[in-house]
Amino acid sequence: MLDDSLALLARTPAALDALLRGLPDRWVHHNEGGDTWTAFDIVGHLIFAEHADWMPRARMILDHGESRPFEPFDRFAQFKESQGKTLDQLLDEFALVRKENLAVLRAMNLQPADLDRRGTHPTLGSVTLAQLLSTWAVHDLTHLHQLSRVMSHQYRDAVGPWSAYLGVLHCNGRGG
Amino acid sequence: MLDDSLALLARTPAALDALLRGLPDRWVHHNEGGDTWTAFDIVGHLIFAEHADWMPRARMILDHGESRPFEPFDRFAQFKESQGKTLDQLLDEFALVRKENLAVLRAMNLQPADLDRRGTHPTLGSVTLAQLLSTWAVHDLTHLHQLSRVMSHQYRDAVGPWSAYLGVLHCNGRGG
């Protein structure tokens, strides 16, 4: 299962790059209204998670087990971190930091006994390293899911009566 | 808006290729249970729509206006059409047929008056060419949305308590 996660995690930056690089602003810099996120915000969030979430938490589990809870994750850090950057810069940065993290993860040569080790999530409680790494992969997918919904929202009216057939326009799976 | 649609439509094949090519079977050949679709089925569906849906319907609007309803679209054709093919073959085929269709569409040099022309959808009734072309773009996104949900489903248990935070695992926007 770790190999399956790695295969997916390695592909996400190139998939987002192929989808988003050079796209018109309509798709990249518009959200779903209010304080929701744009495609640009989503890529920034994925970058911040590479720095602050997955690998620091994996290390915390291996070094401290359940004795020290993970640092809480700032879901809004990208609004500051992405300031003044272009989408192309964020796509480059995501590809680089993901590649570095996966190289470190592979070098850890994690064994089944490592994957069963437990840490403490600040709100969810006891979790395993295997669950953390699986969540890393699904976190990519949940933001791909969000991204497709945010982009679709920009054409909500343009599709006219076809709206009834387009599941993405009726999704209530909000949030990351 | 047509330019925005074209920009997105041109990118989807490469995005799916970057995400899916070479992925383990767990992500590609498993569905959400019952008669739901796999990633492989979704790519097959996108190919069939290139042949049978968007361009034939655009031509029907331009040639016959509202006088002749579109042919109904077979949402299950891919189960026969994809038989015996590999995912890599489908990804190649999707890239090729999409490229051909967009070349034909660009060569039509559609003007605002063309985009306002109306056709008859067999169940939705009167629709414009502009709505059809916008729907083509959102159709890509709704299947990207579905794809991310189908793939996430394969890790539904593996993420443990993090399930609560992963919106994709709580999406009810079913269907294409």
Q: Over pLDDT 70: what percentage of chain A? A: 98
B23 → chain A, closest CA residue: A7
pLDDT of residue B176: 41
Weakly modelled stretches of chain B, pLDDT under 70: 173-176
The answer to whether the Cβ–Cβ distance between B131 and A19 falls below 8 Å is no
Q: Give A76-108 pLDDT, tens digit per residue.
A: 888 889 999 999 999 999 999 999 999 999 999
How many Cβ pairs closer than 8 A exist between chain A and B? 201
Q: Over pLDDT 90: what percentage of chain A? A: 90
Q: Give A115-150 pLDDT, tens digit per residue.
A: 999 999 999 999 999 999 999 999 999 999 999 999
**Nearest residue, CB atoms, A141 vs list B16, B26, B152:** B152
SS3 category, A28: helix
Q: Using a CB-CB distance cutoff of 8 angstroms, which residues of chain A are in contact with residue B162?
A: 121, 124, 127, 131-132, 135, 138
Neighbour tally for A92: CB within 10 Å: 15
- Contacting residues for A63 by C-beta, under 8 A, at least 6 apart: none
Token pair belonging to A113: 């006994």
Interface test with chain A among B2, B148, B153, by most A beta carbons within 10 Å: B148
Over the range B113-122, which residues count as b (16 or more CB within 10 Å of their CB) and which as e? ebbebebbbe
Interface of A with B in 46-105 (CB under 8 A): none
Task: State the complex-level ipTM.
Answer: 0.96
pLDDT of residue B75: 84
pLDDT of residue B74: 87
B36 touches chain A (CB under 8 A): no
A108 touches chain B (CB under 8 A): no
A144 touches chain B (CB under 8 A): yes
- Contacting residues for B155 by C-beta, under 8 A, at least 6 apart: A134, A137, A138
pLDDT of residue A173: 62
Residue for token pair 């992405």: A82
